[in-house]
Amino acid sequence: MRYITAAIIGFAFIIGLLIVGNAYKSRTKAQETISVTGSAEKDFVSDLVVWKGSYSRKSMDLKSAYAELKNDENAIRGYLSGKGVSNNDMVFSSVNINKEFNYPTDANGRSLGQQFTGFNLTQTVRIESKEVDKINQLSREATELIQQGIELNSQAPLFYYTKLTEIKMDLLAKASADGKQRAEIIAKNAGSSLGKLRKATLGVFQITGKNTDEDYTYGGAFNTSSLNKTGSITIRMEFAVD
């Protein structure tokens, strides 16, 4: 009887070791993961342009300066219409009025007070249009107004894309697929199979000029100076290993 009891205890001990060993192996297996970074990028062309130009008039008489500025506005409006720009796409700002002064000094550098030099009136014109090529060309040709005595300071146009959500969704799908493919290759080469996705962390959406050396930024680059752009995104993925 004593031998039978000892045998039973020994058998139970072996079974216990096997159970513990299998549990440890399962736990170790469950803790094995593969971490990868999937990425994707896509080129696209801007479909919206915003362009601004500013002009000014200065006179000792406020009414004269205002009348000249309004003549300039009418001339600019006519010029833009002649270039095929819709009136609905033009927005003229309110007039900004500044009193300007000189502060002369004598031979010893002492102030002689202030000297009024006139009223400086400025105004801007803003165009927002989906006719990107036309407005882009116009921004470079607007200096033709100098021939009419109007000093229009043309700013560089800003380019946007109105369907960024579609770009983001497309890139997210491609980056996810890229990450999974990388993980599958790693698992296969290691003699394992890829398990379920455990964790995914989305990176920052970046928009840079196509074929430029722009750097990515922590908060996400958002290029507005290039007509042709490249969107990119990354996703950090962690998979279980079966």
Tell how far CA 203 is from the center of its chain. Answer: 14
- List C-alpha distances in Å: 236 to 109, 158, 189: 66, 32, 20
Phi-psi region of 148 (alpha: psi -120 to 50; beta: other; left: phi over 0): alpha
Mean pLDDT of 71-94: 95
Fold of 33-45+162-241: Translation Initiation Factor IF3 (3.30.110)
pLDDT per residue over 97-149, tens digit each?
999 999 988 888 888 889 999 999 999 999 999 999 999 999 999 888 988 89
Q: How high is the pLDDT of residue 105?
A: 86
Cα 124 from Cα 62, distance rounded (Å):
18
- The hierarchical CATH code for the domain 49-157 is 3.30.70.2970
Q: How is the chain split into domains, by residue range?
A: 1-31, 33-45+162-241, 49-157
The amino acid present at 85, given as its one-letter code, is V
Name residue 239's amino acid. F
3-state secondary structure (DSSP) of residue 68: helix
Give me the mean pLDDT over the 40-67 stretch: 97
Residues 149-206 have pLDDT tens digits of 999 999 999 999 999 999 999 999 999 999 999 999 999 998 999 999 999 999 999 9
**Count of beta carbons in the 10 Å neighbourhood of residue 22:** 10
What is the pTM assigned to this prediction? 0.80
d(CA 147, CA 117) in angstroms, rounded, equals 26
Question: For residue 69, what pLDDT is reported?
Answer: 97
pLDDT band at 4 (very low <50, low <70, confident <90, very high): low
Distance CA 207, CA 161 (A): 10
Other residues' Cβ atoms within 10 Å of the Cβ of residue 181: 13
Locus of tokens 């080129």 = 43
Q: For residue range 7-35, what is the model confidence (pLDDT) as tens digits?
A: 444 444 444 444 444 444 444 455 689 99
